[in-house]
Structure 1
Amino acid sequence: MSRTDHPRARWLTLLAVAGLVATFAPGSVVAQEKVVFKVGLTQTATETGLNPFLATATADYRLIADIYDLLLEFGPGLEPAPGIAERYEVSDDELQWTYHIRQGVKWQDGQPLTAEDVRFTFQYYIDSHDPAYTGPQAPDGNDTDGDGSADNALTLFDNYLDLDAGLEEMRIESIEAPDAATVVITTREPLISLQQIYLPILPKHMWEQITFEQANNENVESPIGSGPFRIVEFNPDSVIRFEANKDYWGGAPKIDELIYQYFQNDEALVNALKSGEIDFVTDVPPALLSVVENDPNITVHRAPTTDFNELGFNSWDPDPDRFVEEGCADCPKGPTTGSMGDPWLTKPEVRAALAGLVDKKELVEHALNGFGTPADSVVGPLNAFYHYQSAPDDPVNFPPYADASGRDAARQQAISRFGAKMAEFGFTDTDGNGILNVPATDEAKAFDPAGAGADWSLRLFVRDDDEEDKIAAELLEAWFEEAGVDIDRQLVKEDPQLYDATYPSSTNADMDMYLWGWGPDPDPDFILSVFACNQINNWQDVNYCDLGYDTVYRQTRTTVDRDARAILIKGLQDKVFHEAPYVVLWHPDSIEAYRSDRWEGFQLHPKEGGYLWSSWGFGQYNSRTTVGPLGSAATPAPSATPAPSGTPGAETPAPTAPPTAAPTVTPAPAGGGTDTTLIAVLIAVAVVVVGGVLLVARRRAAEDEE
């Protein structure tokens, strides 16, 4: 089976995976009156969002954080912190990782969780990539068409297990569970991603019955995890309901039910919070902030984020072999570059020239009402150690100006600079209508036979349900047309139109430009992996490919020295900035709000300037187990299990967990837990998040505006 069938390429009817309908263990004694916490959203989970191997949207990853645990989770500073593993050590040569599995943890059906579940989870994923695999997960073999590739490789978590360059290049030699409490991973080279593997730990006793084909195509109707909540109702277009796992190893949640309620528009969402119909909103639209910020019963929390929105340029310029490789041998092909997009966008100089027309300050002012910051790079300024900062006067940037009075002059400078650059390629306004004409030389006709001599026109795809992107698109259209580029602005559905338009295997990347967004991981590894050639038809959307980029990216995965790694990472950002497959537009602020007349105990994640309800915050590290009704009893968290110091082979005791507190408002109770002890563990690490993972993923999907 070709990679055409990668999960992001299709969205199937909700199916129940055979053997995955859970039989939950009986819950705790139900109180006379349930404590129900309702979270309001406008971004729906996907139809396959309960299957970790098909989860793609931010809303999906919230559900995963409710249901599952990770081997190592994201601590208060987003550092690797104890999860299913209480602690770990790394050998002196950095080639062997030993994880000590927490004892007494149970799956939500009552069965014990052991090291074998961890080993099985990782090996299951790796085996799906092996065309030679024979076993219960592929009863007819894993290469039934004999083309040498695996039929149903699970691909969303490739970079965390070093599979993004293929099974042959994977540097993991073995994954073993020598006893019920120990997992040992051995590698050929140092592999920093093993500090945090964003792959939910799965119950072997259920998933060993599931074939790779099922895992790659079907939803999990009633998943079993080890996390703080178990799902009891899944209607992604209306209500998703959870019951608390009172046996959760990190401390029983203080609420009995967690409900995600979906609204059709922002106004209905905010009004529901105002009226008390819901208790929490993950993303207050900036335009509606005034509705809630002066309400004495509502607390608003605003914080910067590393999320970003981008203008993407179709950079798909394949050689003929790539059509077969990417599963589109029968796709319609462009006349010269192969792409169905505008061929001139395959030239980095042209993309960079267009980037210089984009006034990011004005975009933040108008599209976000000022609730964000102009962006330089896919690695945001909150990740200061790895953040790349371009020079203000770099021609890829809009010319700098001090205030609104200097904006018009800067615009004319940008237009003049753009015209001069495009003239180098032969673009001039030959018919005097204000739009540049594609050159009509013999060379240009060979490169762009369909466009030669015509007005230069580019399509701009904009999500039809994203108000911020709509505003940004109007500004971009005006700026580009003033500079001589006709813009065909089209409103599209994110699913399936925008997904399909960016996929070579779906439409041969039949698009020119689009607006979209990401919520990157705490560590830069994942978002930088997106630009690797092997991510075309997978996580990539601009279909950019540069072998030099790939070489340096692979080096960042094995460079243990933090300073040396930062140099490599900034170099990759510099390349993306100047070759401009993306123009990174802004980093939006997070604006959350909750009914502080009814709830307390919210816990920021990360601790400094983070979210109240984070997709990174598994279990005890976010508000999931600590939020409760006003006046709910709380007990201080005990000292944590010793955790690694960040130095290979060393261990130091972790400090006592700090009190949880509601941000910037009234003090909250001191910790999680009801009658079950909250085991809150922090790690004393001196290194920055390495190998961090948060797929938050495929697409923020306008998490901040919908």
Structure 2
Amino acid sequence: MKKNISAMLAVLLSLILILTGCFNSTEQVQKKKDEGQEEMESSEDNGPKILRTNNSSEPGSLHPGTAQGSHDSWILEHTFEGLTTKSPDGKIIPGMAELPEVSEDGLTWTFHLRDGMKWSNGDPVTAEDFEYAWKYALNPNTASQYAYQLYYLEGGEEFNSVSSNKENRQIPEEVLKPYRDKVGVKALDEKTLEVKLAKPTPYFLDLTSHYTYYPINKKVQEQNSDWYKEADTFVSNGAFTLSEWKHKESVKLVKNESYYDKDKINLDEVLLYIIEDQNTAWQMYQSDEMDLIVNLPAEVTGMLIDKEDPEFHNASDLATYYYNLNTGVKPFGNVKVRRALSMAIDRQAIVDHVSQGGQIPAYGVIPPGMPDESGDFRENAEQLFEESVEKAKKLLEEGLAEEGLDKMPKFSFLYNTSETHKAIAEAIQEMWRKNLGIEEMVLENAEFQVKLDREQAGDFQISRGGWIGDYVDPMTFMDIWVTDGPYNDVNWGNKEYDKLIQTAKSTMDKGTRMDAMHQAEQILMDEMPIIPIYYYSKPHAYKHFISSIYAPINRYPQFKYADIKK
């Protein structure tokens, strides 16, 4: 049964909150203040409208075909636009194209680009730009981690799976071309894009608003393959474009005068400071050096909720916070060890006393907000595992004995730099110490992109993970952990799980699809290669003079239509 937090643990958690709440990095704040003074002064009445906010990490890639994290996607969502886009109320609406014509069998989708669509350099956006971009991401030489999102296209997986006979060797064009030509996307003319799917996909329209499906300017890409790495060569088709990139310091966006809906874009500039430390970002917000903040320290979130601060906003998020367990590293390959670690965590204590943002304890991987055959997928599933210290102790003892160990060996926990991630890790570290006698867990922080790279290389034992749904269907979570999946960092595989996911991808029958995914989620939780902690909320704050910020369920707060009225 689920156990309540002990008095001793409550005291310790309180101490953690006090320590993590201490503001620091005064010199960094002053440096940012000096650098931002010009922007602050220019945002007075009758001057340019400049929104200042924070991007929590240096972007890994601002190329739609190679981007992979929220530190990339938040910028891309404002600088690019797909065939479709999402309205402030979350509906899929026309973007670069009108809504498509779909064949009766659900396999052929025909998109017609709207008149007057242009790139920021004045070039017309063409159907060929979309075909080129999708095939670029699928090209195995590109090494796109998100290429699997295009496997819904006929021939997409086959093209991406072409391999070289030699390790790290670029695959020659004569080998690639026959596979590329069979991919189900084709520009019939300058404004007509025909898409052929491998199987009927009920959520495909939602996918066309995702950043992996954004176009790239074919001419620009062919002339300069590094166009996306610096502001002076950057070309995009969204509401904003990149005007300045001071690497690891700040990113500046400016209104794209070539954007078809430019008259509805109120902001002239958006300045995103690159600040990993949450307390530094919050201090800058308090001192009026930021107008919008999306990564609040946990104790600040709790404080703002308690005082009902009018600048504080929260929203549902289609996201799950979890821990990765590298099953290729002893003793985490043992399912009893993995389940013991999960069962010894008091999730309610974490959300009540540490994260403090209205999060919901997670006893499955699919968050609320996903449609089922009827109702909500999460609400229709029972709690998929339990918390029990007594059972956890027994399982850990049995698992370690099977591994020839009499105690848990020293191991490290990898997390990206964040006071909240650190506080949660420290709380769970204490739970494992108190409940399971685990004494040698070492916390290790790294920049977000470094963490991602290490996870993909298998260079970790336990790491913090989080996933925001790319589209509103349970599959956006479930296909992560198929055997050898590009984001299956935990080195886990299960044939029955793979079969169920394939079943869910092979039918348009909603009941069959959802039943298969419910069964697959149960297998995942029985095997526990990941440990769900909670379902995210989306706490953020913005100044009283900012309006029209909106927060789609699976995206960061959007400032596309924001306005400033002081």
**TM-score normalized by the length of structure 2:** 0.78
The whole-number CA distance in structure 2 between the counterparts of 1:179 and 1:279 is 44
Identify the residue that residue 529 of structure 1 maps to in structure 2.
Answer: 479
Relative to structure 1, the CA distance from residue 347 to residue 290 in structure 2 (aligned partners, 3 Å threshold; closer, same or farther) is closer
Could you tell me how far apart the structure 2 residues matched to 1:461 and 1:262 are? 24
The partner residue of 2:418 within 466, 469, 487 is: 466
Identity among equivalent positions (%) equals: 19
Q: Which residue of 2 aligns with 1:518?
A: 467
Deviation per CA, 1:477-536, whole angstroms, max 9, x where unpaired?
A: 233233244442222314566345433xx4xx343322232222233333222101232x
Q: Does 1:300 align with 2:274?
A: no
Distance 1:458 1:80, change over 3 A: farther
Q: Note the C-alpha offset of 1:264.
A: 5.4
Determine the C-alpha separation between the residues in 1 that align with 2:517 and 2:529: 17
- 2:302 and 2:448 map into 1 onto residues whose CA distance is 31
CA distance in 2 between counterparts of 1:97 and 1:260 reads 37
CA distance in 2 between counterparts of 1:363 and 1:580 reads: 19
Paired residue type of 1:587: Y
| Residue 57 of structure 2 corresponds to residue 44 of structure 1 | yes
Is the CA contact (8 Å cut-off) linking 2:416 and 2:451 kept in structure 1? Answer: no
Q: Which residue of 2 aligns with 1:175?
A: 185
Greater share of residues in helix: 2
1:349 aligned partner: 336
Tell me the CA shift for residue 417 of structure 1. Answer: 1.5
Structure-1 residue corresponding to 2:322: 310
Q: Per-residue deviation at 1:453?
A: 4.6
Match of 1:230 in 2: 241
Task: Decide whether the 8 Å contact of 1:293 with 1:299 is kept in 2.
Answer: no
Deviation at 1:42, TM superposition (A): 5.6
Contact 1:313 1:512 in 2 (8 A): yes
Q: In structure 2, what is the equivalent of residue 599 of structure 1?
A: 546
Counterpart of 1:387 in 2: which secondary structure? coil
Q: Distance in 2 between matches of 1:586 and 1:290?
A: 16
Contact 2:417–2:448 (8 Å) recurs in 1: no
Matches within 5 A, 1:126-137: 126=138, 128-129=139-140
Where 2:535 maps in the other structure, the secondary structure is: strand
Letter in 2 for 1:629: I
Pairing of 1:477-626 with structure 2 (within 5 A): 477-481=429-433, 482-495=435-448, 498-503=451-456, 506=457, 509-523=458-472, 524-535=474-485, 538-596=486-544, 598-600=545-547, 602-606=548-552, 610=553, 614-615=555-556, 622-624=558-560, 626=561
Cα 1:76/1:562, change in 2 over 3 Å? farther
Q: Which residue of 2 aligns with 1:397?
A: 386
Q: Structure 2 vs 1, CA of residues 420 and 52 (structure 1 numbering), >3 Å: closer, same or farther? A: same
Judged with a 3 Å threshold, the aligned counterparts in structure 2 of structure 1 residues 223 and 370 are, in CA distance, closer, same or farther, namely closer
Deviation (angstroms), 1:201: 0.9
Q: 1:158 aligns with which of 148, 151, 157?
A: 148
SS in 1 for 2:395: helix
Cα distance between partner residues in 1 of 2:123 and 2:564: 31
Distance change >3 Å, CA 374–CA 577, structure 1 → 2 = same
Change (3 A) 1:510 1:226: closer
Q: What displacement does 1:113 show?
A: 1.3
Q: 1:297 to 1:113 in 2, by over 3 A?
A: same
Q: Give, as a single letter, the amino acid of the residue that structure 2 aligns with 1:547.
A: K
Q: Is the 8 A contact 1:42 1:269 kept in 2?
A: no
Structure 2 unaligned spans of 5+: 1-43, 163-178
**Residue 563 (structure 2) aligns with:** 628
**Counterpart-to-counterpart distance in 2, 1:190 and 1:459:** 45
Distance 2:136 2:508 in 1: 27
Match of 2:195 in 1: 185
Distance of 2:563 and 2:449 partners within structure 1: 39
Q: Secondary structure at the match of 2:363?
A: coil
Choose from 367, 381, 389 the match for 1:415. 389
| Aligned equivalents of 1:295, 1:513: Cα separation in 2 | 36
**1:135-150 maps to which residues of 2 (within 5 A)?**
none
In structure 2, C-alpha distance between the alignment counterparts of 1:484 and 1:275, rounded to whole Å: 44
Shift of 1:114: 1.9
C-alpha distance in 1, partners of 2:502/2:91? 22
Q: Give, in angstroms, the shift of residue 315 of structure 1.
A: 1.6
The answer to whether the 8 Å contact 2:315/2:538 transfers is yes
For 2:77, what is the secondary structure of its paired residue?
Answer: helix
1:194 is aligned to 2:204: yes
1:205 CA displacement: 1.5
- Is this contact kept in 1: 2:357–2:537, CA < 8 A? no
Q: 2 CA distance for matches of 1:558 and 1:56?
A: 26
Q: Does 1:103 align with 2:115?
A: yes
* Change in CA separation of 1:370 and 1:203 when aligned onto 2, cut-off 3 Å: closer
Given candidates 191, 194, 209, the residue that maps to 2:223 is 209
Higher mean displacement: 562-571 or 477-486: 477-486
Count of residues paired in the alignment: 491
Distance 2:351 2:89 in 1: 28
Cα–Cα, structure 1 residues 153 and 277, in superposed 2: closer, same or farther, change >3 Å? closer
Distance 1:420 1:265, change over 3 A: closer
**d(CA) in 2 for partners of 1:259 and 1:184?**
38
Aligned-pair distance for 1:375? 1.1
Letter in 1 for 2:494: D
Query: What amino acid sits opposite 1:235 in the alignment?
Result: K
SS in 2 for 1:185: strand
What's the CA shift for 1:68? 0.8
Q: Report if the CA contact (8 A) 2:136-2:142 is conserved.
A: no
Question: Retained in 2: the 8 A contact 1:40–1:263?
Answer: no
Asked if structure 1 preserves the Cα contact closer than 8 Å seen for 2:312 and 2:539, the reply is yes
Q: Following TM superposition, by how much is the alpha carbon of 1:241 offset from its aligned partner in structure 2, in angstroms?
A: 0.9
| 1:86 match: secondary structure | coil
Instruction: Tell me, yes or no, if the aligned pair for 1:69 and 1:83 is still in contact at 8 Å.
Output: yes
Amino acid at match of 1:43: S
**1:383 maps to which residue?**
370
Query: RMSD of the alignment, in Å?
Result: 3.2
Taking a change above 3 Å as real, the CA distance of residues 220 and 164 of structure 1, as seen in their structure-2 partners, is farther
How far apart, in 2, do the equivalents of 1:292 and 1:484 lie? Answer: 36
After superposition, the Cα gap between the structure-2 partners of 1:207 and 1:483, relative to the gap in structure 1 and judged at 3 Å, is same
* Residue of structure 1 in register with 2:32 after alignment: none
1:327-342 → structure 2 map (5 Å cutoff): 341-342=329-330
Q: CA deviation at 1:60?
A: 1.1
**Segment drifting more, 492-501 vs 553-562:** 492-501
User: Partner of 2:12 in structure 1?
Assistant: none
Partner of 1:363: 350
d(CA) in 2 for partners of 1:526 and 1:153? 20
- Separation of aligned partners in 2, 1:567 and 1:513: 31
Structure 1: unaligned runs, 5 residues or longer: 1-30, 130-150, 317-340, 399-413, 426-437, 632-706
SS at match of 1:358: coil
Q: Which residue of 1 aligns with 2:41?
A: none
Q: Does the Cα contact within 8 Å between 1:243 and 1:257 map onto a contact in 2?
A: yes
Compare CA radii of gyration and give the structure with the larger one: 1
Give how far 1:239 is off: 1.8
